[in-house]
Chain A
C-alpha cells in the first residue's frame, strides 16, 4: 500500500523506512522534512559551513544505518536532533589538530576585522567565548539560545534531567559572564 507522504507522521515514515532495504521514498521524505533543522543545528555546533556540511551528511547516513533502532520512546524529531548533536560532538572532539589551525585562522580574521571595524568581530568574540566551555555545555547553550529548544527537549537530547539541563546552562552562562567581565576589566 502506497503511503501518502504529505499526511504521514514522522513516526509512520520511520516505521516504513525501517522496512525499506535502501533509501526509498519514506527515508527520502524524512530527509526532506528534517534536513533544514539538522543543517542549522550542525552549522551552529560546528561553526563553519564545510564542517557543518560534513556533519549533516553524516547525521543522515547514521540515521539510515540505525533507522530500525527508533523505538518511539520520544518524538522522531527529538531522536534525529539527538543524533545530530552527538554526531557534531563526536566530530568536534575528533578534529583536535584542525581546531588549532582554526584558532590561528580566527585570530587572523579577528585582527582583520578589528582593522576594518566591521560588525562580525562581535560574533567572533562570541564564538571564542563559547569555545571556552565544555563541548556539551557549549552545545546546550547554543541549542537553548540559538535554536530555542525547550529544557524538556534538551533533557531528552542530552539524556539528562530537566533540572540538570537548567543548572548546566546557568553555569555556562555564569562562566561566560565571568570571563567576559574579566576580559573587559
Chain B
C-alpha cells in the first residue's frame, strides 16, 4: 500500500524541483527599469557634497592638531610661570640674548 504512494511522491517532488528551476529562470527574465536620466547629475552632485564634507573634515582635523600643539606651548608656559615665576624663553642661536633673560624674577 505504501509502495503505491511512491510514484505520486516522486512526481510531486519532481514538480517542486521543476517549479524551483522555473523560479530561477524568472531571475533572468525579470525586467530591470532603465537608468534614470538624472543619474549622472545626481552622482556629480553627491560626489561634490561628499568631497566638500571630506575636505571640511580634513581641514578641521588638521587645524585641531595645529591648534592643540600651538596652544599646548602657551598652557605649558602658563603652568611654568605659575609655579616658577618665570616664563620659559627660547634661547636665540644667532648670538643675541633675549633681554628678558636678565630680568630678575618677580618677587
Binding site for B on A (CB under 8 A): 22-23, 31, 35-36, 39-40, 43-44, 49, 53, 56-58, 60-61, 64-65, 122-123, 125-126, 129, 141-142, 145-146, 148, 173, 176-177, 180-181, 184
Q: Is the CB of B44 within 8 A of A23?
A: yes
Please report the C-alpha to C-alpha distance between residue A35 and residue B39 in the assembled complex, in whole angstroms: 9
Q: 10 closest pairs, A vs B, by CB?
A: A181-B16, A146-B27, A177-B20, A145-B27, A39-B35, A60-B43, A145-B24, A43-B32, A57-B46, A40-B32
Give the nearest-CB partner of B30 in chain A: A123
Do A39 and B32 have beta carbons less than 8 Å apart?
A: yes
> Is B33 within 8 A of A43, CB to CB?
yes
A60-B47, A126-B27 are known contacts. Are A176 and B33 too (CB-CB below 8 A)? no
Which of B16, B43, B44, B46 makes the CB contact (< 8 A) with A177?
B16
Q: List 9 A-B contacts (CB under 8 A).
A: A31-B43, A35-B35, A61-B46, A61-B50, A64-B47, A126-B26, A142-B27, A176-B23, A181-B13
Contacts of A173 in B (CB 8 A): 20, 24
For this complex, into which size category does the number of interface residues on chain B fall? 20 to 34
Give the A-B pair count, Cβ closer than 8 A: 76
A57 in contact with B35 given A122-B26, A126-B27, A129-B23 (CB within 8 Å): no
Distance of B46 from chain A, by nearest CB (Å):
5
When the two chains form the complex, which single residue of B40, B51, B54 contacts A31, counting CB atoms closer than 8 Å? B40
Could you say which residues of chain B place their CB within 8 Å of the CB of A65? 50, 54
**Chain A residues closer than 8 Å to B39, beta-carbon distance:** 35, 39, 53, 56-57
In the complex the two chains form, is A176's CB within 8 Å of B20's CB? yes
Residue of B nearest to A58 (CB): B46
Residues of A within 8 A of B16 (CB): 177, 180-181, 184
Is B98 interfacial (CB-CB < 8 Å)? Answer: no
Q: Within the assembled complex, what's the spacing in Å between the Cα atoms of A58 and B46?
A: 8
Residues of B within 8 A of A (CB): 13, 16-17, 19-20, 23-28, 30, 32-33, 35-36, 39-40, 42-44, 46-47, 50-51, 54
Pick from B30, B35, B47: contact of A23, CB below 8 A. B47
Bound form: Cα–Cα A46–B73 in Å: 54
